[in-house]
Structure 1
Amino acid sequence: MTSAARRARAWLIRFGAAVGLLVAVVALLLAPATPASAHAVLVSTSPVGSAVVPQAPAEVVLTFSESVRKVSGKIRVIAPDGSRADRGEPRFSGAVVTVPVDSSGPRGTYLVTYRVISADSHPVSGAFTYSVGAPSTPPTDTGNDVRADPVVGVAVKVAKYLGYTGLLLLVGPALVLAALWPRRLSRRGPARLAWAGLGLLAFATLADLWLQVPYTAGGGILDVSGSGLGEVLGSTFGAAHLVRLGLLAAAAFLLRPLFAAPAGRTDLIILAVLGGAALFTWPLAGHAAASPAPAVSVVVDAVHLGGMAVWLGGLVMLAGFLLRRADERELDAILPIWSRWAALAVSALLLAGTVQALIEVATPKALVDTTYGRLVLAKIVLLAVVIAVAAYSRQLVRRRTAAGRPTPMRRAVLAELAVTAVVLGVSATLVQTTPARTAETQVAGTPSGYYSATLTSSLYSLQVELDPAERGPNTLHLYAYTRDNKPQRVAEWKVTAALPAAGIEPIDVPLLPLTDNHVTGEVSLPAAGQWEFRFTLRTTDIDRATVTATVPIR
């Protein structure tokens, strides 16, 4: 190739990288500026929930604990006769949502259902009632199914896992080819692995965007409309993912010559900048951007992710290529350098993970009282195992055992990869779990007697939640599912509560249907003790089954 052809090719490569980077910058500039928040909670309403007002209001106001954004068509007001009472689009202003309603509607009880999105991209839904003039039988909102298909939740976690996997499969080969790869060895195998990682990462990013529509708006994996996709792309979540795609496109032009031959210093610097910028798209689209200290959380989350990608990506290259192909002299030069890199990556990962856990978990109690905290503990235990194996690997390097007999080293590396594959699964679940700082706040505001159980019969499975499970007023939520865990339509519900030990006969619990498979109710329990609850559900004209539960009331 002539020098002119090489210059033209270099110019084309940099031009392609610049175009991809421009796409990323444009997506970033178009991203909406939203305040930091997480897992919003409805703190007040106007009219107040369950209140009786003399005249129909002209609007219903919902105030959340944090800023929220809309999901089209998911805030509805249902009149006593079952018709829609809301008029026009709700107005969103930070944490306040205003819903225009028909002020000339009939007297009776109105049902308000809502579904909004927190700043960390997780949906928040619920319902409440108010009455005009006098209470009546509450209506049901059969046209507003806000549930997401369970398959969608699983698919979201799978997409996160694939994204992490693609990242390490891309970073590992790129890093080793740039700095540690012996010149005599063919680059074809690592290059193929890196291209597979890039493709997997791009696919996972697109899948995230697609799945975010049914995850936030409700529905199945194929329930994606143009308007719903537009809302996702116009959000911070969407902008972060579009930026990631642009950065990947820009990097692809520079990776191609790197995979063919050693790259120049300028190209490596540009690649490092693009890679560092891409790492920030993960925390900007998740919990970190909505933490109490977003600037710190975003940085440490990006460092945490980068340390993981360098460490695990390098292990993949060691196990898959270097320990199999490099000779003794080459391994003597490579392994000590890699050992130092791994130590730095693990140190960064642990330091960033510690800071991240302190912010997200908030209190030691939350480590054991919340799902997020328990997942963090599981991740810590798994990482401890991996670090122990990694320490053994570094001992092999120091003894030069790996150079003479690479088999023990290869086995240790494979053991590290096996355990860290589980760590990636825990991480993919963590990013979809309510942060402990939020969940623990809810737990702190909820007495420790909160009761939750799943009861089964031959017809259905019933999820029971009683809050706060103490003497006095309690809120009951019931969710019915089929035996294969799909929402079960219930034609009639009946619930009673009794305390035989105190001579208290069964009390009927009035219920408010929210969806076909979900009802709520309020019950006042006058005494502490072992209360017997009976739940009778009729699913068809002839199919009926009763399940019971003994609930400790403090």
Structure 2
Amino acid sequence: MAVMTAALRRRPARLTAAVGLLVTVVALLLAPAGPASAHAVLASSSPAASTVVSTAPSEVVLTFSEPVRKVPDRIRVIAPDGSRADRGDPAFSDSVVTIPVDPSGPNGTYLVTYRVISADSHPVSGAFTYSVGAPSEPPVDSGDDGRADPTVSTAIKVAKFVGYAGLLLLIGPALVLALLWPRRLSRRGPARLAWTGLGLVALATVAVTLLQVPYTNGGGPFDITGEGLSLVLGSVFGAAHLIRLGLLAAAAVLLRPLLAGPVSRTDLVILGVLGAGALLTWPMAGHPAASPAPAVSVLVDAVHLGGMAVWLGGLVMLAVFLLPRANERELGAILPIWSRWAALAVSALLLAGIVQALIEVATPAALVGTTYGRLVLAKAGLFALVIGVAAYSRQLVRKRIAASRPAPVRRAIWAELAITAIVLGVSATLVQTTPARTASSDVAATGTDAFSATADSSLYSMRVEAVPARRGNNSVHFYAYTLDNRPLPVVEWKATVALPSAGIEAIEMPLLPLTDNHATGEINLPAAGEWQLRITARTTEIDQATVTVTVPIR
């Protein structure tokens, strides 16, 4: 009778979870479809950047490497007199953006600024100039500096780290309580850990969704508007996060009886389906959904994330609860099973990570030549280190030392968790970084060599980048930072180049300020040699300093 009563009590929970799953699936099917792309880059423009045209165009056409979406009022054409030259809303057609322009504008240099959204939810911004008739002093777009607020970018990374941590704190206790937990031990501690994990995942999901609004629009952390939120929720990114919240709510209904005591196989299967669905929402909202093979990438990334959560969540349960509380007989039965689980989880994690890296990195050159590739290498190095520690733990289990003397295993597990905490931090940064396959195809940075150097003065540190660092036209970028490496606003920029060995005296370089601490210029360097680049940056009405950088031109 008691068994029948318990079963009847669980029927509403199962029904509620099933309804939640059904609603989520319907939302997934109705979610707006997005093109396969990621971190788009500007491939070309008409008029081309830095060119001089004889007659004013009636439109400016931007062609990106992949399809993009609109950010309201973030594409502008500024006339030489500082007025808006664009007329009406830009037209978006896959990767082509057409901006209507007033053809009766004055002669001189025009500034085009843009901010769009790639399919993996990341904003893409930039600026370039073209001239009508003859070049003039470049105008400045005072409406938008094109930058993502660093506070917002950092907050998103922190929120994603919290989400990863919550995921392993949720899955680890649920898995161990369902299949490995000794009946005589209290479930109160693991239950609290699981509820904490669920709360952290939900909190991180809401935080990332809200922060996506200013991240998209380029505002501060509290610049959240109804229009901006509607834009985010109407995207695949927003749909994925709403689906995750729905699955978490459905899972919470069945999680309560599991945390209180053993449950039926049916409940475990439903929880497993809900968990698998929730795991898919992470890659759906990131790079994998926009990869060249989205179905493979989404599945592989979900396996990668699930393997991580099972492995690390189980380690937390071992370190915090089982090793201190279970007796020798219980540990003798539990640890061999856990060791096999961990081996399978790590194998899945490793295989999925390799496939994921092959898709996102694409070439060996991109592996070492891009930030994304270097982060992948750092993650792989840390992973190799933690695998070594895990192998030591598995050896202890095989020798049956762990059951009689759990202290060595406990120390090894804490070492694994410490290293993998760093791995999670790298992962949180990785998902916010342009994939190597896209970064390496950036027309502004590939197919050419580049020069980069930093020069320090008493007021600032100046980073200089020149592309392609060869004879002919070169794009030069200047970035000013404080001596403790924070962006430093510059009031006025000046730069000259000279080649003393060839008798070429200083040539002034016209500069275009893009942000407070970033300016760019175009210069034709006709000869190879060691060119002397002098940069003067005025930071206040009275404070300025000059630095010199030698740029080797081939």
TM-score for the superposition, normalised by structure 2: 0.95
Q: Compute the displacement of 1:445 (Å).
A: 6.2
SS of alignment partner, residue 280 of structure 1: helix
Gap regions ≥5 residues in structure 1: none
Q: Compute the displacement of 1:58 (Å).
A: 3.3
SS of alignment partner, residue 381 of structure 1: helix
Deviation string, structure 1 residues 502-547 (Cα, Å, up to 9, x no partner):
3221121122233443322111112222221110122333222111
Name the CA shift for 1:225/1:145 in 2 (closer, same or farther; >3 Å).
farther
Match of 2:446 in 1: 446
Any residues of structure 2 matched to 1:19-34 within 5 Å, and which? 19-34=19-34
| Alpha-carbon distance in structure 2 between the residues aligned to 1:212 and 1:73 | 17
Q: Mean alpha-carbon deviation: is it higher for 337-346 or for 104-113?
A: 104-113
SS of alignment partner, residue 171 of structure 1: helix
Q: Compute the displacement of 1:117 (Å).
A: 1.3
Match of 1:424 in 2: 424
SS of alignment partner, residue 39 of structure 2: coil
Name the CA shift for 1:553/1:53 in 2 (closer, same or farther; >3 Å).
closer
Name the CA shift for 1:230/1:461 in 2 (closer, same or farther; >3 Å).
farther
Match of 2:97 in 1: 97
| Alpha-carbon distance in structure 2 between the residues aligned to 1:68 and 1:426 | 27
Match of 1:327 in 2: 327
Contact preservation (8 Å) 2:332, 2:400: yes
Contact preservation (8 Å) 1:107, 1:133: yes
AA partner of residue 469 (structure 1): A
SS of alignment partner, residue 37 of structure 1: coil
AA partner of residue 402 (structure 1): A
Q: Compute the displacement of 1:114 (Å).
A: 0.2
Name the CA shift for 1:141/1:482 in 2 (closer, same or farther; >3 Å).
farther
| Alpha-carbon distance in structure 1 between the residues aligned to 2:103 and 2:212 | 35
Match of 2:171 in 1: 171
SS of alignment partner, residue 532 of structure 1: strand
Figure out how many residues of one structure are paired with residues of the other and give that number: 554
AA partner of residue 291 (structure 1): S
AA partner of residue 67 (structure 1): P
Match of 2:527 in 1: 527
Name the CA shift for 1:102/1:258 in 2 (closer, same or farther; >3 Å).
same
Contact preservation (8 Å) 1:22, 1:246: no
| Alpha-carbon distance in structure 2 between the residues aligned to 1:152 and 1:292 | 29
1:459 partnered with 2:459: yes
Contact preservation (8 Å) 2:40, 2:438: no
Any residues of structure 2 matched to 1:17-416 within 5 Å, and which? 17-416=17-416
Q: Mean alpha-carbon deviation: is it higher for 363-372 or for 58-67?
A: 363-372
Contact preservation (8 Å) 1:243, 1:281: yes
Q: Compute the displacement of 1:125 (Å).
A: 1.2
Contact preservation (8 Å) 1:449, 1:553: no
AA partner of residue 176 (structure 1): V
Match of 2:475 in 1: 475
Contact preservation (8 Å) 1:79, 1:106: yes
Q: Compute the displacement of 1:287 (Å).
A: 1.3
SS of alignment partner, residue 551 of structure 1: strand
Q: Mean alpha-carbon deviation: is it higher for 226-235 or for 96-105?
A: 96-105
Name the CA shift for 1:545/1:279 in 2 (closer, same or farther; >3 Å).
same
Q: Compute the displacement of 1:5 (Å).
A: 5.9
| Alpha-carbon distance in structure 1 between the residues aligned to 2:445 and 2:427 | 27
Gap regions ≥5 residues in structure 2: none
| Alpha-carbon distance in structure 1 between the residues aligned to 2:479 and 2:25 | 45
Contact preservation (8 Å) 1:145, 1:515: yes
AA partner of residue 232 (structure 1): V
Name the CA shift for 1:84/1:481 in 2 (closer, same or farther; >3 Å).
farther
| Alpha-carbon distance in structure 2 between the residues aligned to 1:405 and 1:182 | 19
CA RMSD of aligned residues (A): 2.1
Q: Compute the displacement of 1:21 (Å).
A: 2.5
Name the CA shift for 1:456/1:206 in 2 (closer, same or farther; >3 Å).
farther
Deviation string, structure 1 residues 109-140 (Cα, Å, up to 9, x no partner):
32110011111222211112233444332211
AA partner of residue 349 (structure 1): L
TM-score for the superposition, normalised by structure 1: 0.95
Q: Compute the displacement of 1:369 (Å).
A: 1.9
SS of alignment partner, residue 106 of structure 1: coil
Q: Mean alpha-carbon deviation: is it higher for 376-385 or for 319-328?
A: 376-385
Match of 1:537 in 2: 537
| Alpha-carbon distance in structure 1 between the residues aligned to 2:83 and 2:540 | 25
| Alpha-carbon distance in structure 1 between the residues aligned to 2:445 and 2:475 | 14
Name the CA shift for 1:502/1:58 in 2 (closer, same or farther; >3 Å).
closer
Identity of aligned residues (%): 75
| Alpha-carbon distance in structure 2 between the residues aligned to 1:71 and 1:243 | 24
Name the CA shift for 1:444/1:124 in 2 (closer, same or farther; >3 Å).
closer
Q: Mean alpha-carbon deviation: is it higher for 150-159 or for 110-119?
A: 150-159
Contact preservation (8 Å) 2:460, 2:480: yes
| Alpha-carbon distance in structure 1 between the residues aligned to 2:342 and 2:48 | 57
Name the CA shift for 1:9/1:293 in 2 (closer, same or farther; >3 Å).
same
AA partner of residue 192 (structure 2): R
Q: Mean alpha-carbon deviation: is it higher for 413-422 or for 218-227?
A: 218-227
AA partner of residue 349 (structure 2): L
